[in-house]
Amino acid sequence: MTTSIPAATCELRFDRISAQAVLIAPKRAKRPRSHDSHQCPGCIPALTPPAVCVFPEHAEPDGDGWDVRVVPNKFSAFSDSGSNLRYETPAGCKGIYDPAGHCEVVFETRRHIYPVYARTTQEVHYCFRALVSRYKSARSDPRIKFWFGFKNLGTVAGGTLEHEHWQLYSLPFIPPSIQDRYASAARYFNETGQNLYRREFEDEANSGDRVVALTDHFLTFVPFAAGMPYEICIAPRRNSADFSTMNDAELHGFAASFRDAVTRLNSVHPELAFNVVLHTAAFEHASAAWFTWHLSILPRLTTLAGIELGINVMINPVAPEEAASTLRAIAVQQASS
pLDDT in tens, 178-188: 999 999 999 99
Do 318 and 247 lie in one domain? The reply is yes
* Residue 6 covered by a domain: no
In a shared domain, residues 162 and 309:
no
**How far, in Å, CA of 286 to CA of 39, rounded?**
39
Is 70 exceeded by the pLDDT of residue 31? no
In a domain, 17, yes or no: yes
CATH number for the domain spanning 114: value is 3.30.428.10
**DSSP summary character for residue 319:** -
Mean pLDDT of 79-108: 69
Tell me, what's the pLDDT at 312?
A: 84
Q: Is residue 337 part of a domain?
A: no
pLDDT digits (tens, 9 = 90+) for 46-79: 888 999 999 998 888 777 889 999 999 887 767 6
The region of weakest confidence among 11-25, 59-73, 141-155 is: 11-25
Cβ–Cβ under 8 Å, residues 135 and 251: no
Q: Which of 105, 98, 118 is nearest to 47 (CA)?
A: 105
CA distance 78 to 8: 10
Q: What is the structure's pLDDT at 230?
A: 97
What is the mean predicted confidence (pLDDT) over 310-334? 91
Residues 6+ apart with CB under 8 A from 217: 236, 237, 238, 249, 250, 253, 254, 257
Summarize the confidence of residues 2-20 as an average pLDDT.
65
Three-state SS letters, 177-231 = HHHHHHHHHHHHHHHHCCCHHHHHHHHHHHHCCCEEEECCCEEEECCCCCCCCCC
Give pLDDT, residue 10: 76
**Residue 303 belongs to some domain of the structure:** yes
Q: Which of 114, 143, 171 is the last residue of a domain?
A: 171
- For helices 248-268 and 320-328, the axis angle rounded to 10 degrees is 100
Give pLDDT tens digits for 267-285: 999 989 999 999 999 999 9
The reply to whether 220 falls in a domain is yes
Residue 321 has pLDDT above 60, yes or no: yes
> 26-57 burial string, b = 16+ CB within 10 Å, else e?
eeeeebeebeeeeebbbbebeebeebbbbbee
What is the number of domains present in the chain? 2
Instruction: Let me know whether 180 and 167 are in one domain.
Output: no
Band of residue 257 on the pLDDT scale cut at 50, 70, 90 = very high
Q: Which ranges of the chain does DSSP label H, i.e. alpha helix?
A: 121-139, 176-192, 196-207, 248-268, 306-311, 320-328
Q: Which domain holds residue 90?
A: 11-171
152 lies in a domain?
A: yes
Q: Of 171, 198, 231, which one is at a domain's C-terminal end? A: 171
Same domain, 138 and 284: no
Please count the other Cβ atoms lying within 10 Å of the Cβ belonging to residue 78: 24
Q: Do residues 78 and 97 share a domain?
A: yes
Decide which of 120, 150, 171 is a domain's last residue: 171
In a domain, 335, yes or no: no
Whether residue 276 is found in the same domain as residue 228: yes
pLDDT at 92 over 70: no
Residue 117 has pLDDT above 80, yes or no: yes
Q: What is the mean pLDDT of residues 92-101?
A: 67
> Does 134 share its domain with 182?
no
